[in-house]
Amino acid sequence: MSTPASIWRQHKKLHIYLNKVGRLIVWTKIFVAPSGFEHQTPYLVGIVQFESERLPLQIVDCNEEELKVNMKVITVIRKIGKAKSEDVIEYGIKVKPRS
């Protein structure tokens, strides 16, 4: 559950992830979404290997056909999910292919 306080804590960590390049290990295209993500379907998610950690992240700004195992991807800051109209908007990291 994203409360203002939990979003606040998360936002503080985001600057560490700017400009991070990682490798895409594996991905899937989701057609049936959880609540708050229906507006995005279908969308791509995968696991990205960064220098010191592996993270589960959404993959944006590309089509599934462009993805290759081990391709370089770079972090971007985007909106997470779909905030209700009276809620605080959550921002977070996603990745896109690094051109």
Partner 1 sequence: MTGIVSYGAYIPRFRIKPSQIALAWGKEAPEVEKSLGVFEKAVASYDEDAVTLAIEAANRAITTGGIDPTLIGGITIGSESHPYAVKPSSTTVAEILGMGTDYLAADLEFACKAGTAGIQLLSGLVSQNKTKYVLAVGSDVAQSRPADVLEYTASSASAAFILGNQNTIANIVDFTSYSSDTPDFWRRDTEKFPSHGGRFTGSPAYFAHVFGASQNMLKKAKMTPQDFDYAIFHMPNAKFPKEAAKKLGFTPEQLTPGFVVPQIGNPYSASSMVGLAATLDIAKPKDKIFMCSYGSGAGSDAFVIEVTPEIKAHQKRNQSTVAKQIKDKEYINYSLIAKNILTKYKI
Partner 2 sequence: MKIKIAGTGLTKFGELWNKDLLDLALEASSEAIHDSRLTINQIDAVFVANMIHGKLSGQDHLGALVASSLGIKGAAFRVEGACASGGLAIHLAIQSLLAGTYKNVLVVGTEKMTDATSSQITSALMGAGSEDERRAGFTFPALYALMAKAHMAKFGTTRNHLASVSVKNHFHASLNSLAQFPFEVSMEKVLESPVISSPFTLFDVSPITDGAGAVVLTSESMGAGVFISGSAVATDTVGLSQRESLLEIAASKDASQKALKQAGCEIKDIKLAEVHDCFTIAEILAMEDLGFCEKGEGGKFVEKGHTKLGGKIPVNTSGGLKACGHPVAATGVKQIIEVTHQLQQRAGKRQVNGADVGLTHNVGGSGATVVVHILQT
Residues near partner 1 (CB under 8 A): 11-12, 14-16, 18-19, 39-40, 60-61, 76-80, 82, 84-85, 88-89, 91, 94, 99
Of the pair 68, 98, the CB lying nearest partner 2 is at: 68
Q: Using CA atoms, how far apart are residues 31 and 20, in angstroms rounded to an integer?
A: 28
Burial of 8 (0-12, 13-18, 19+ CB in 10 A): exposed
Q: Read off the DSSP letter of residue 1.
A: -
Nearest to 35 by CA among 88, 81, 4, 94: 81
Measured from the CB of residue 98, what is the shortest distance to partner 2 in angstroms?
18
Site string for partner 2, 5-44 (x = CB under 8 A): -----x--------------xxxxxxxxxxxxxx-x--x-
Residues of the shown chain interacting with partner 2 in the complex, contacts defined by CB under 8 A: 10, 25-38, 40, 43, 45-47, 53-58, 64, 69, 80-81, 90, 92, 94
